[in-house]
Structure 1
Amino acid sequence: MKVMQNFKNHLLECFQKQALKVSVVKSKRPIKPFTYMRAVGTNELEKILTDAFETLDLTVDTPLGQLKITETTDPHHPGLSIDLLRPNVAGEIPLVLVEYCGAEDADADLPAKEQLITRVWGQASKEDYTDRIVHNLKGDA
């Protein structure tokens, strides 16, 4: 899976920045610089992983640009968003938002219960979403 490969490469890059050093040993005869692996302690490893997961953006390359998947930041509406990053275009183009909405939310046309809702931006030129799907997860009408 390409997303996991990108994540693996991201983690390896973080580890290499912390663990690989170049050292030159002085000697009477010519010696080449060498690379050695410095021990990475548990605390350093935990910090690397924490930083990697906190800044993680999953991306998938497409012929039209990168799809970027991010976690939403509203604790009352946890979810994921998918945006398109186009070459030579400033900013992200919103495509999809899937989020939790509770019964207490003020959206007038929501059923009075907890739901997962998908919002779709069908037109890049519009700021607001064009379609919304309230998922029927229990099979009730």
Structure 2
Amino acid sequence: MVIHRGLALLFCLLPLVAVQGCTSTGGADAGASGATTLQGRWAGKPATSFFSQYGQPYSEYVDRGGGTRYTWRKRYTETVAAPAAPDAAPAAAAAAAGPTYVCELDILTNEAGAIAKIGRVADPRLKSGETAGCRGTLGFDG
């Protein structure tokens, strides 16, 4: 009898453990998980929706699979508060240009124009003083 109760309890809890393993917060938007989150947000949605929200692609060409491959690129210069002069009022601090980030994505769509794959380009073309990253362009450091 004790064995049967233990097995019954195990079979009752097993589905709960399996479901718990499949859940995610969906809000992890920083660091290396950014591309995964980006993929989760946009997979299956029309590429035109992405471009209307974030801007048009840098380039596009027809993929061998029948879809379209896009390169999307955005540069973003962060604005930082410049230190105020010692005798200036606190509100007199001016804004200065901070670091410039380059976010470059590879977007592959299917024949219907839905995003099949989206991810960051590992080595985007950078100008002197620029850093690869999507900070400020997609709303997170992806």
Fold-level similarity (TM above 0.5): no
Relative to its length, the structure with more helix (as a share) is 2
Compute the TM-score of the two structures, normalised by the length of structure 1: 0.27
Structure with greater contact order relative to length (CA < 8 Å, sep ≥ 6) = 2
Compute the TM-score of the two structures, normalised by the length of structure 2: 0.27
